[in-house]
């Protein structure tokens, strides 16, 4: 999968909408901490891979790099020239907080072994045998809330309702916090089912 972060303005909007401390400058160190970036080889650079070290981390759990066979040196220069002819500038690093322009995006993969590096390889497999980790199989239906539903009251997530593989509904409570990380498509669906967003 291609690994490209969003624009600075998108992250800064979180803070402008009330999430104090959630902005590009505050999040960039964590993006870097999570990343194990593999610097492109000479042949990958010749094929159009570009990067700026200051936007990357090199010791994190998520491997990021370019596919080993990115070595066709004729493709990228032609595409860069074509886009620049259309007034779309070359972007030397699509992870810099600006995605405007053309660039060769890195992938979430271990570039040395050419193996896709997904969230399970990066975060789950290294800890799956910990005694304090329990995996519940099912589907999150909605977030549950502590507190009232009035306009003046602040709601706090206190758990989730899940549907088990057998189709049974169950509430799982949280002692500290609820972290929703269901991808670009499922996250809005869960939020809306929980009363956040479009009520229809």
Among all chains, which residue has been given the structure tokens 């990066």? 122
For the chain, domain boundaries: 8-124, 138-193
Looking at the DSSP assignment, which residues form a beta bridge with residue 102? 90
Other Cβ atoms within 10 Å of 141 Cβ, number? 17
CB-based contact 55:24 (threshold 8 Å) = no
Residue with tokens 């509904």: 169
Instruction: Mention every residue, 6+ apart, whose C-beta is less than 8 A from residue 87.
Output: none
| pLDDT tens, per residue, the chain with 200 residues | 899 999 999 999 999 998 899 999 999 999 999 999 999 999 888 888 999 999 999 999 999 999 988 766 677 778 888 988 999 999 999 999 999 998 888 999 998 899 999 989 999 999 999 999 988 889 999 999 997 555 556 778 999 999 998 999 999 999 999 999 888 889 999 999 999 887 77
Which architecture, in CATH terms, is 8-124? 2-Layer Sandwich (3.30)
Q: Which residues contact 36 (CB under 8 A, 6 or more apart)?
A: 57, 58, 59, 60, 61, 62, 63, 64
Distance from C-alpha of 23 to C-alpha of 30, rounded to nearest angstrom: 11
The CA dihedral of 185, 186, 190, 193, to the nearest 10 degrees, is 60
In terms of Cα–Cα distance, which of 65, 17, 56, 14 is closest to 34?
56
Cβ contacts of residue 139 below 8 Å, gap of 6+? 162, 163
The C-alpha atoms of residue 10 and residue 24 are separated, in whole angstroms, by: 8
């Amino acid at each position: 999968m291609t690994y490209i972060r969003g624009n600075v303005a998108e992250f800064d909007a979180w803070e402008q909408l009330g999430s104090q401390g959630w902005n590009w400058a505050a999040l960039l160190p964590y993006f870097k901490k999570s990343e194990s970036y593999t610097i492109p080889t000479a042949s990958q650079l010749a094929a159009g891979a570009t990067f700026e070290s200051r936007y990357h981390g090199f010791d994190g759990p998520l491997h990021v790099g370019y596919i080993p066979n990115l070595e066709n040196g004729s493709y990228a220069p032609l595409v860069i020239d074509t886009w620049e002819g259309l007034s779309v500038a070359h972007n030397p690093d699509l992870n810099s907080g600006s995605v405007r322009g053309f660039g060769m995006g890195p992938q979430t993969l271990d570039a040395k072994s050419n193996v896709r590096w997904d969230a399970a390889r990066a975060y789950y497999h290294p800890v799956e045998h910990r005694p304090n980790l329990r995996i519940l199989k099912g589907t999150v239906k909605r977030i549950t809330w502590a507190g009232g539903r009035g306009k003046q009251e602040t709601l706090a997530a206190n758990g989730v309702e899940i549907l088990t593989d057998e189709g049974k509904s169950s509430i799982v409570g949280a002692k500290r916090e609820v972290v929703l990380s269901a991808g670009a498509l499922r996250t809005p669906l869960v939020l809306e089912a929980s009363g956040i967003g479009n009520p229809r």
